[in-house]
Homo-oligomer: A and B are copies of this chain.
Amino acid sequence: MDYIRNPQLIETESFTIIQEIIDQEFPNYVFSCPNEEKIVKRVIHTSADFDYLKNLVFTNDVILRLEEFFAAGQGTIFTDTTMALSGINKGILDQLGIQYECYIADPEVAEQAKRKGMTRSMAGIERAAKIAGPKLFVIGNAPTAIFKLLEMVGKGDLDAAAVIGVPVGFVGAAESKEALFEGDVPAIVARGRKGGSNVAAAIINAMLYQLVERES
């Protein structure tokens, strides 16, 4: 069997094919700006799903807020799942001086969740709110995390630099994302049911690859 074995070639060729498919199947589609184009294409690269051309939306100057967040080099990314954190390029985050946390398996957060009758994802948001410095929330799984986050922001108990709000699912996911989409927090939102930890990680990686020289 003959097949391409060079990861960089595979990736370059993949993005060429993605553009060809857009040209053929969505000829009237126009990206708003190169940053958004890179994010949407990387999400398609990670899902092979062109629904994200229309599902993925950007609110409240989120790209600028993300650029500021990463440039400041002193913030923390909070993910709702270990899977999302696992997919993010942590070598680049280390280079940029950005911290990263996922509290889903934290025993203290689990204890708080049990005591308060909330999901661990919600307790994770409460825990994150206590951490100093700029905060970027990356939510690929838990609608309850987004609802909780919006509640706390609304009450002035939490300041979020931006939110990647892309939980996948059938119960609460779309509703949580519409609430985020309509709110004042800068956000990248996958409207509807689709999304996931892989999509969340791809969005962050697409931003990171624009900021630093890509690792081979």
Chain A contact residues, CB within 8 Å of chain B: 1, 3-7, 10, 13-14, 17-18, 45-49, 81-83, 85-87, 117-119, 122, 143-144, 147, 150-151, 168-173, 175-176, 179, 192-198, 201
Contact = CB atoms under 8 A, between A and B. Distances in A.
A47 B168 contact: yes
Contacts of A198: 83, 196-198
A101 B157 CA distance: 41
Nearest to A15: B170
A47 B173 CA distance: 12
Given A86-B82, A196-B198, A172 B48 contact: no
The copy count of this chain in the complex is 2
A170 B118 CA distance: 41
A84 to B, nearest CB: 9
Contacts of A4: 171-172
Contact of A171 (B13, B82, B143): B13
A115 B192 CA distance: 46
From A14, A18, A171, A176, residue with most partner B Cβ within 10 Å:
A171
Contact of A168 (B46, B143, B151, B192): B46
A104 B16 CA distance: 26
A171 B46 contact: no
7 contacts: A13-B170, A47-B196, A48-B168, A48-B173, A48-B193, A82-B86, A83-B201
Closest 3 CB pairs of A and B: A48-B193, A86-B86, A17-B170
Contacts of A83: 83, 86-87, 197-198, 201
A90 to B, nearest CB: 10
A54 B42 CA distance: 25
Contacts of A47: 47, 168, 194, 196
A127 to B, nearest CB: 16
A150 B122 CA distance: 44
From A6, A45, A46, residue with most partner B Cβ within 10 Å:
A46
B3 A176 contact: yes
